[in-house]
Amino acid sequence: MPGSARYLIVGIALLGSAARALAGGRLGIDHPIAPSDSGIWARKYTLGLEYGVVASKPGGGLWLGGASEFGLTIWQTIVASVIG
């Protein structure tokens, strides 16, 4: 390997490690976030979404049946939920 290519590789490695050190974390994406329980992230809305999804599965499965692709997918999600 020629000398200039070696210096280029070492320079890129040094710049990469310096950028990671400034950003924080191994990949530079780690930073603390304060928990939020307001707005659309409020617990009542997340629980409503969860219960709505669970309630819509049997209705959609019975409505569409297993003949259509989407109906079969709904039945597979029901089976996976029961097993899980």
pLDDT per residue of the chain (84 residues) written in tens, 0 to 9: 566 777 778 777 766 655 555 555 666 666 677 777 788 888 899 999 999 988 999 888 889 888 889 999 999 999 998 998
Q: Where are the domains of the chain?
A: 1-32, 35-84
Q: Are 8 and 2 in contact (CB under 8 A)?
A: no
Q: Between vectors from CA 24 to CA 7 and to CA 16, what angle results, nearest 5°? A: 15
CA distance 16 to 69: 47
Check residue 83 and give its pLDDT.
93
Residues in CB range of 11: below 8 A, 6 or more apart:
none
